Structure 1
Amino acid sequence: MRNPIIPQDAGDPYILKDGTDYYMTATGGGDIGLNGFVCWHSKDLENWSDPVTILDFRDVSWANTNAWAPSMVEKDGYYYFAFCADQQIGIAVCNSPMGTFRDILGKPLIAKTDYDFQTIDPCFIKDDDGTVYLAFGQGRCLMSRIELTPDSAAFIGNMECLSELIYRQDGAPSPHPELKEVYNEAPDLIKIGERYLFSWAIYDVLDYRYAVRYAWARHPMGPYIMPLDYDHPQNILLEGRHDITGCGHACVTEYNGEYYITYGRHKKDRTQNFGREMCCEKITFLDDDHLVAVPTR
């Protein structure tokens, strides 16, 4: 894999696999910058199209700043786009992953005042039976089933806290602002075999230690257990090495029967300004429970 995979500055990637096509969205990545979202298309996770604007904040009535960390899912022939705006989460819809998306609710699905933590970083997962779930949150990760139609979006049933057991397994109070090495942000979920992989970012995006941890469950809503043991005490899926730093906010994707992690990291030529580049690595399965990916150039 040649890194970075796109020439634009961007981070917080999410990749939707739709048949043999891959659609990647992110924070940044085009002329629209912080005022909306773009999407790239690929067949192989390595060669990507030019970015196409799929949602412009001029078409969102309730926010116009902080276009962060989107996610996408297909349901019944429609594509649903969960996006951050003004540190709130909205839902948009289109009949194509390449847009243009329409804001469904005309207001946030999750407002910044709904919870006592930052309501950012949405992530969809669709189960084998078609049920769609949405996870989100910084400092704490909540998740629930979500019902989606072209004219509505609403949570259904219980809201589970995926990060609660992660804190307890690590012997830490939950949540704790000084314990970003346990859980910070950027939940990602994917089914691998008969289990569900939950990964997330630790530390802060500006921290050179920004990295990815993970846990497994038998149900999409958990409980998720970190495979901690003597040989793998930190349970790290991806972290920086040598002069590569800030490897976090990632998305795990399947391609040709193997799994890859796409992520943002600090640009090598970073000086006065914060810049990120998007990269992709193959995941190695050390055994049934333990995974690792090594950042490359």
Structure 2
Amino acid sequence: MMKNPVIKEKAGDPYIMKDQDKYYLVATGGGKENVNEFVCWQSSDLADWSEPISILKLSEVSWAKTNGWAPCMVEVDGYYYFAFCADQQIGIAVCNQPMGRFHDLLGKPLIAKEDYDFQTIDPVFLKDDDGKIYFAFGQGRCMISEINLTPTSAEFVGEMICLSEMLYRQSSHMRDQFDISIYNEAPDLIKIGEKYLFSWSVYDVLDYRYGIRYAWSKYPMGPYYMPIDFERDNILMQGHHDITGCGHACITEYRGEYYIFYGRHSKNWWAEGIGRDICCEKIIFEDEYHLKAIPRAISED
């Protein structure tokens, strides 16, 4: 079992790419809560991580210099694509190795802040078994589309679909009445068996209730259904006692088991302002559709 926190540096918004037998972790911050530079950690077992390596600085990006947040990464045909937030827009960079250095692919945002009427942040990739790549993003709403990636281009394919509207419909809730407890931000997508798992964060990152909900689908672009009824909710993980702010997560597989990496408030963070810790929990499959992960204390075996 991995110990918490999984890395010693203060950081949040973790994303893990599995590439053959290696795992690569990227996040917001890394050591000094630096929001103008992205770093990457490497591991073979999700427990022991390398020192962070700088892979992209916003000083090397022409269209934004601040607020480097919430990155993700995917491998396609021997190249690695790194999507990241900057200036509340989403960019994409490319390199022939996961530890960089990456260079900005387009010389402009892949998704600009004026493209949508919600905050265009929090990208995530889904690589399907057939090699197709899907790209989801958004705070306030969540959109998804297939995307074609080459070392010289990044282009969306077909229709852009709103995943969060599916959640509102299932909740009998009108989309124009935004409810932060249904969907807020930080989508994540992974295929487990023959189903696709969509998870996301609810409430705000500064809220002690910040947590993670989930839904399932037979198809990567939905429709997704939350496994809820009168007896059960679809909270995958939420804090308890003095563990708060558990959210913006990524799920990955290791030796047939599934683990959720997430950021949470550091101890005494309100008083000391010391940021977030990246932690990890094993996911418990209660049955075919219901999942649970319980946040553990720091440095608990």
Tell me whether the two structures share a fold, i.e. TM-score over 0.5: yes
Q: Aligned with 2:164: secondary structure?
A: helix
| Separation of aligned partners in 1, 2:131 and 2:137 | 20
What amino acid does structure 1 have at the position aligned with 2:192? I
The range that moved more, 73-82 or 27-36, is 27-36
Q: Is the 8 A contact 2:33 2:275 kept in 1?
A: no
| Separation of aligned partners in 2, 1:176 and 1:121 | 22
Q: Quote the residue 1:154 is aligned against.
A: 155
- The CA deviation string for residues 1-59 of structure 1, in whole angstroms up to 9 with x for no partner, is 21011111100000000011000000001358111200000111111111110001111
What amino acid does structure 1 have at the position aligned with 2:147? I
Q: Aligned with 1:13: secondary structure?
A: strand
1:229: Cα distance to partner?
A: 1.7
Q: Quote the residue 2:7 is aligned against.
A: 6
Q: Aligned with 1:147: secondary structure?
A: strand
| Separation of aligned partners in 1, 2:266 and 2:274 | 8
Alignment gaps of 5+ in structure 2: none
| Separation of aligned partners in 1, 2:146 and 2:293 | 30
| Separation of aligned partners in 1, 2:3 and 2:85 | 29
Q: Indicate the percent of aligned positions where both proteins have the same amino acid.
A: 66
| Separation of aligned partners in 2, 1:176 and 1:139 | 11
| Separation of aligned partners in 2, 1:75 and 1:104 | 14
Q: Quote the residue 2:216 is aligned against.
A: 216
Q: Quote the residue 1:276 is aligned against.
A: 276
Task: Name the TM-score, length of structure 1 as normaliser.
Answer: 0.97
- The CA deviation string for residues 193-233 of structure 1, in whole angstroms up to 9 with x for no partner, is 0000000000000000000000000010000000002221x
| Separation of aligned partners in 1, 2:214 and 2:177 | 18
Alignment gaps of 5+ in structure 1: none
Q: Aligned with 1:243: secondary structure?
A: coil
Q: Is the 8 A contact 1:81 1:92 kept in 2?
A: yes
- The CA deviation string for residues 122-152 of structure 1, in whole angstroms up to 9 with x for no partner, is 0000111100010000011000010111111
Q: Moved runs in structure 1, 4+ residues, more than 4 A?
A: none
Task: Name the TM-score, length of structure 2 as normaliser.
Answer: 0.96
Q: Aligned with 1:34: secondary structure?
A: coil
What amino acid does structure 2 have at the position aligned with 1:93? V
| Separation of aligned partners in 2, 1:23 and 1:151 | 23
Q: Quote the residue 1:203 is aligned against.
A: 203
What amino acid does structure 2 have at the position aligned with 1:52? I
Q: Quote the residue 1:255 is aligned against.
A: 254
1:269: Cα distance to partner?
A: 2.5
